[in-house]
C-alpha cells in the first residue's frame, strides 16, 4: 500500500512539475488540487493536505481547494480546521450550498447544533433539492430531541433520494430512541440495510430496537453482526453485555463483553455498573465494589450507582457504608422504593428499628404493592417485639405475591406463641 501511494504521489508530482514548466500559477494550482483529490480518494490524507496547501499557496482565492482541504480535515476529526476552511470557501463563493452543508456537518460533530442548523438552513435555501442537507439537519434535530422535525427532514431526504440509507437510519433513530415507536424504527433500519448491507451502526441500532421490544435473541444476533463488521464498537459490547447480565443471567459472557467495552472506552461508566452487577451475581463482592467505585468516580451523581453499591455493602455487612450510599442515592433521586427498602434493612441490622420502619413505610408508600417492602418491615416489627404488626406485614407480603422469610416466620411463631 505504501509503495502504491508513493508511486502515485511521485507520478502526480512529476506531472505537476511538468505543468509548472509551461503553465501559469492558476493552472498549476488546479493541478495541485487534482493531485490532492487523487490522494484523498486513496485515503492518503497527509499527501492530500500537502497538495491542497500548494494549490492555495499558488492561488489564495481558490475556493475549491479550501473546500477540499476542509473535507480532509473533517476525515481526520480536525473539525476546527475544517470549519475554518469551509468558512474561507464560503467567503469566496457565498452561494456554495455544498460548503454550507459541509460546515454544518463539522459543527454537528462539535455538538454546536445551532450553528449546524443555521448552515443546513442556508444550504437548503440555496439548493432546495439538497438531500444531504435535509439528512444532516434531521440528524441534528434528533440530537436536540426535536424528533418531529428529525422525521420530517428524513422524509424530505428520502423523497429526494429514495435509496438514501443514511436518511432511513436517521429516521429510524428518531422513531426508535425518540418516539419509542420500535416497529417503524425497525422498518427503517431494514430498509437502510437493504440498501447498505454492511453498515455496523445500523445493525447496532436495530439490535437496540429488538432489545427494547424484549426480543433478546434477535438483539444479540444484530449485535453479533455489528461487531463482526466493526469490532471496535464499545457501545455494542455494552449493549450485548447488558442483555447477558440483566436478561440472560449469563454472567461470564456479560463480563467478557464488558471487558471489551471498557478496553475500548475506559470512561464508559455504564459498563462498570453492569460488570459490577455481573460480579455481584457471581458472589465476587470485592470486584463488584471496585467497579462501582470506578463508575461513581466517573459519574458521582449517578443515583442508581450509589444504590447498587449500597446493596453490595449491605450484603458484605458494611452497614454504615451501605446507609451512606443509600442516603446519597435518595438525595439524588427520592422516588426509589428499592433504595428506601435497602436503607431500612441496613438500619434494622444496626438495631435502629424506628428508622428502619420509617424507611420501609416510605418504600411502601411509593409502591403500595411492594411485597418485599412488607416482608422487610415485618422483620423490623419483629425486632421491636411488636408481633401483631409483624404478622400483619407477613400477611400483606403474601397477599402481594411475596414469600416471607421462613426463618422470620418461625421466629415469629416461637416468640408470639401463635400461627399466622
Q: What is the pLDDT of residue 419?
A: 78
CA distance 295 to 270: 7
What is the tally of helices (H) and strands (E) in the chain?
24, 0
* Residue 39 burial (C-beta neighbours within 10 Å; 0-12, 13-18, 19+): buried
CA distance 228 to 108: 28
Query: Other CB atoms closer than 10 Å to residue 95's CB: what's the count?
Result: 10
- What does the pLDDT average to over 21-41? 80
CA distance 120 to 133: 5
First-to-last alpha carbon distance for the chain, in angstroms, is 81
Q: Provide the pLDDT confidence category of residue 22 given band limits of 50, 70 and 90.
A: very low
In a domain, residue 54? The reply is: no
Q: What is the pLDDT of residue 35?
A: 85
Cell of 168: 432511513
Furthest CA-CA distance within the chain: 112
Cell of 24: 501559469
* Residue 223 burial (C-beta neighbours within 10 Å; 0-12, 13-18, 19+): buried
Whether residue 265 is predicted with pLDDT greater than 70 in this model: the reply is yes
How many CA atoms lie less than 13 Å away from 135 in the CB half-sphere?
A: 20
Confirm if 120 and 137 have CB atoms less than 8 A apart: yes
> What percentage of the chain reaches a pLDDT higher than 90?
87
Helix ranges restricted to H, 93-164: 97-109, 113-126, 131-143, 147-160
Q: What is the pLDDT of residue 302?
A: 95
Cell of 315: 450484603
Cell of 240: 450485548
Q: Which of 111, 61, 55, 60 has its CA nearest to residue 83?
A: 111
In a domain, residue 188? The reply is: yes
Q: Which of 175, 179, 201, 199 has its CA nearest to residue 187?
A: 175
Across the chain, what does the average pLDDT equal? 93
In a domain, residue 326? The reply is: no
Q: Which of 15-24, 59-68, 372-381 has the weakest average pLDDT?
A: 15-24
In a domain, residue 81? The reply is: no
Confirm if 314 and 323 have CB atoms less than 8 A apart: no
CA distance 188 to 194: 10
pLDDT, tens digit (0-9, with 9 covering 90-100), for 207-232: 999 999 999 999 999 999 999 999 99
In a domain, residue 45? The reply is: no
CA distance 9 to 78: 23
At 186, which CATH number? 1.25.40.10
C-alpha angle 297-300-305 in degrees, rounded to nearest 5: 90
Whether residue 36 is predicted with pLDDT greater than 90 in this model: the reply is no
In a domain, residue 241? The reply is: no
In a domain, residue 141? The reply is: yes
Total domain count, the chain: 1
Q: What is the pLDDT of residue 6?
A: 52
pLDDT, tens digit (0-9, with 9 covering 90-100), for 152-210: 999 999 999 999 999 999 999 999 999 999 999 999 999 999 999 999 999 999 999 99
Whether residue 1 is predicted with pLDDT greater than 60 in this model: the reply is no
Domain hosting residue 134, numbered range: 129-227
Confirm if 150 and 142 have CB atoms less than 8 A apart: yes
Q: Which of 106, 159, 109, 160 has its CA nearest to residue 130?
A: 160
Q: Report the run of H or E that residue 346 belongs to, with start and end.
A: helix 337-349
C-alpha angle 64-69-71 in degrees, rounded to nearest 5: 95
Q: Provide the pLDDT confidence category of residue 14 given band limits of 50, 70 and 90.
A: very low
In a domain, residue 173? The reply is: yes
- What does the pLDDT average to over 276-290? 95
Q: Which of 166, 230, 223 has its CA nearest to residue 192?
A: 166
Q: What is the pLDDT of residue 105?
A: 97
Task: Taking the CA atoms of 323, 329, 334 and 336 in sequence, report the sign of the dihedral they define.
Answer: negative
pLDDT, tens digit (0-9, with 9 covering 90-100), for 79-116: 999 999 999 999 999 999 999 999 999 999 999 999 99
DSSP helix/strand/coil, 183: helix
Cell of 220: 444479540
Amino acid at each position: 500500500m505504501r509503495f502504491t501511494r508513493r508511486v502515485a504521489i511521485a507520478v502526480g508530482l512529476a506531472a505537476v512539475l511538468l505543468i509548472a514548466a509551461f503553465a501559469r500559477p492558476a493552472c498549476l494550482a488546479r493541478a495541485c488540487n487534482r493531485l490532492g483529490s487523487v490522494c484523498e480518494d486513496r485515503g492518503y490524507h497527509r499527501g492530500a493536505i500537502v497538495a491542497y496547501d500548494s494549490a492555495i499557496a499558488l492561488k489564495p482565492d481558490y475556493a475549491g481547494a479550501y473546500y477540499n482541504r476542509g473535507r480532509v480535515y473533517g476525515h481526520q476529526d480536525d473539525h476546527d480546521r475544517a470549519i475554518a476552511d469551509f468558512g474561507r470557501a464560503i467567503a469566496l463563493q457565498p452561494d456554495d450550498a455544498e460548503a454550507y452543508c459541509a460546515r454544518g456537518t463539522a459543527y454537528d460533530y462539535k455538538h454546536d447544533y445551532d450553528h449546524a442548523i443555521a448552515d443546513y438552513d442556508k444550504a437548503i435555501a440555496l439548493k432546495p433539492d439538497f438531500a444531504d442537507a435535509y439528512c444532516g439537519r434531521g440528524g441534528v434535530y434528533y440530537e436536540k430531541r426535536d424528533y418531529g422535525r428529525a422525521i420530517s427532514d428524513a422524509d424530505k431526504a428520502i423523497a429526494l433520494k429514495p435509496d438514501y440509507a443514511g436518511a432511513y437510519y436517521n429516521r429510524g433513530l428518531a422513531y426508535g430512541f425518540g418516539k419509542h415507536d420500535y416497529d417503524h424504527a425497525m422498518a427503517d433500519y431494514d430498509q437502510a440495510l437493504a440498501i447498505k448491507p454492511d453498515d455496523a451502526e445500523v445493525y447496532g441500532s436495530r439490535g437496540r430496537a429488538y432489545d427494547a421490544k424484549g426480543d433478546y435473541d434477535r438483539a444479540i444476533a444484530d449485535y453479533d453482526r455489528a461487531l463482526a463488521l466493526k469490532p471496535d464498537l464499545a457501545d455494542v459490547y455494552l449493549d450485548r453485555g447488558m442483555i447477558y447480565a440483566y436478561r440472560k443471567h449469563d454472567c461470564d459472557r456479560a463480563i467478557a463483553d464488558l471487558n471489551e467495552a471498557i478496553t475500548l472506552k475506559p470512561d464508559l461508566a455504564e459498563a462498570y455498573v453492569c460488570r459490577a452487577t455481573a460480579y455481584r451475581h457471581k458472589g465476587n463482592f470485592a470486584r463488584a465494589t471496585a467497579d462501582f467505585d470506578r463508575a461513581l468516580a466517573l459519574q458521582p451523581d449517578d443515583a442508581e450507582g450509589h444504590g447498587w453499591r449500597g446493596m453490595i455493602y449491605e450484603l458484605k455487612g458494611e452497614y454504615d457504608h451501605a446507609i451512606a450510599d443509600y442516603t446519597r442515592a435518595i438525595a439524588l433521586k427520592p422516588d426509589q422504593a428499592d433504595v428506601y427498602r435497602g436503607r431500612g434493612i441496613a438500619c434494622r441490622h444496626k438495631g435502629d428499628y424506628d428508622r428502619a420502619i420509617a424507611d420501609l413505610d416510605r418504600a411502601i408508600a411509593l409502591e403500595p404493592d411492594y411485597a418485599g417492602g412488607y416482608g422487610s418491615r415485618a422483620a423490623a416489627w419483629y425486632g421491636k417485639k411488636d408481633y401483631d404488626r409483624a404478622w400483619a406485614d407477613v400477611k400483606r407480603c403474601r397477599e402481594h405475591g411475596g414469600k416471607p422469610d421462613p426463618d422470620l416466620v418461625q421466629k415469629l411463631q416461637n416468640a408470639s406463641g401463635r400461627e399466622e
